[in-house]
Structure 1
Amino acid sequence: MGKTAIVTGSGRGIGRAIALRLADDGYDVCVNDIPGQEEVAQAVAKEIEGKGRKACIALGDVSKISDVQSIVQTSVDKLGPLNTMVANAGIAQVKGMLDLTEDDFSKMMSVNITGVHNCYSTAAKQMIKQGNCKKDAPGKLIAASSIVGFKAFALLGHYSATKWAVRGMNQAYAMELAEHNITCNTYAPGIVDTPMWKLIDSEIGKKSGKGEGEVMNHYVKELTALGRPSEPEDVAKLVSFLASQDSNFVTGQTQLVDGGIVFT
């Protein structure tokens, strides 16, 4: 029987690239996105099937535990026992700390932190129930952190807070799930050429009087050693390693994939 993975938020951007890379690695993949995004999810599933792997879609909001439970059950029913959960889904918002509303803060926490917890806990319970996680073939829990989980950016304070929290929560999960032969790691992208970073560029630009692309170009040229933004595929390659048997002795870690960001 082949390997199976769920990738949340995989209708576009980094999530899509991860789903396609895991298919290349021999995974059958459950594609998740939020309700209303069935068309983009179906398109990714068709790409996976075009690579000779099985795929299914499971729409749902990761901030709701019942939705995540349904996503996991759909994956198991259609693809078989779960081997890997990639908690990729997340949201961003560019806003000053003093301007944040209670709803702004609550929504960011519920998707980016509670969403990861829901994915980790539900997937881990499923893996433990299956009883197929071994020392030489552990279950894999993988989540999205960020460079701002190492150093906060102005106007991304509450987003940064969630990415720091993901790192800490991942470490706790790694310690608690080791006895069940489940590893837990997170990936921390830098400046990625995706709609999320275009939003960050636009909103910070408005507040700082910079034109379209200027903020992103500044970060890339002044802070990134390799001098270019990441592509989603750069991140997917790291996730491929974390999902592979080559990373079986890696757990509790947050791996940067940022082109060498230098903070001053």
Structure 2
Amino acid sequence: MSTIHGKVALVTGGGRGIGRAIALRLADDGADIALVDTNERNIEAVAAEIRERGKKATTVVADVSSRQQLYDAVDHAESALGGFDIMVNNAGIAQVQPLSAVTEAEVRTILGVNLEGVLWGIQAAAKKFKERNQPGKIINASSIAGHDGFAMLGVYSATKFAVRALTQAAAKEYAADGITVNSYCPGIVGTDMWVEIDERFAELTGALKGATYKQYVEGIALGRAETPDDVAGFVSYLASPDADYMTGQSPIIDGGLIYR
């Protein structure tokens, strides 16, 4: 029997890429899954995959930058699936822009998703765990860009550094309630987000399409790009009892690109 059999997990940004992989892996490991995304078609498709695996799934169309929408999503997950145990604050967006050109609107948008979305998710999950008088796990999406600031990804990097700070603070604040808070820091993952990043680098620098992605991948010690499943396997560990004694940490899982 899986170590998270019978648990309920909510995954934001669960409609594609890393979020989809995390949702499917947690379902394979025994959890029922609530999926949150702005794209209804995507999360309904992932929910169907989860049900084909014999697990329950429910969906909520919500914008994680809205505090109330995230609180409502957590309430829905509990009522629809009969519990609430694991919160994965995975939703995030990229932004490739030199610092000199970043606009107020761009900053507000990326802070809303990457920073506020994690903060509201932490709040909502911790509140629910305490209401239920039970321990819980909160797992946040940071990045290697939360350990190293990357040129042309300055504001994105700043949001991911901020996720590490929230993770550490929340771990300290909620430890006495039996709630652990950790982050995962992927590297160069072959997803639609990296296609968008590569295309934007091409626009700004004149590089050929695919060249930026190739350059980064060539620096990975294990010799290949990361897959969403690589990330999902680590998140599964963080969600399991094997990680019960781990809190406030933001480990890198990048195949050997940056080292800490």
The bucket for the TM-score relative to the shorter chain is over 0.9
Work out whether residues 225 and 262 of structure 1, in 8 Å CA contact, stay in contact via their aligned partners in 2: no
How do 1:114-263 residues align onto structure 2 when only pairs under 5 Å count? 114-133=116-135, 139-221=136-218, 223-262=219-258
Give the direction of change, closer, same or farther, for the CA distance of 1:262–1:123 in structure 2 (3 Å limit).
closer
How many Å separate the matches in 1 of 2:70 and 2:207? 40
- Name the count of aligned residue pairs: 255
Residue number in structure 2 paired with 1:136? none
Residue number in structure 2 paired with 1:25? 29
Work out whether residues 225 and 261 of structure 1, in 8 Å CA contact, stay in contact via their aligned partners in 2: yes
Q: Percent identity?
A: 47
Name the TM-score, length of structure 2 as normaliser. 0.96
AA aligned to 1:227 is G
Work out whether residues 95 and 155 of structure 1, in 8 Å CA contact, stay in contact via their aligned partners in 2: yes
AA aligned to 1:51 is R
Q: CA deviation at 1:100?
A: 0.8
Name the TM-score, length of structure 1 as normaliser. 0.95
How many Å separate the matches in 2 of 1:153 and 1:203? 14
Deviates more, 1:204-213 or 1:233-242: 204-213
The Cα offsets for residues 71-108 of structure 1, whole Å up to 9 and x where unpaired, read as 01110110012100000001111111111111111111
How many Å separate the matches in 2 of 1:97 and 1:229? 27
How many Å separate the matches in 2 of 1:208 and 1:58? 39
Structure 1, unaligned runs of 5 or more:
134-138
Structure 2, unaligned runs of 5 or more:
none
CA RMSD of aligned residues (A): 1.0
The SS at the match of 1:253 is coil
Runs of 4+ in structure 1 deviating by more than 4 angstroms, as ranges, are none
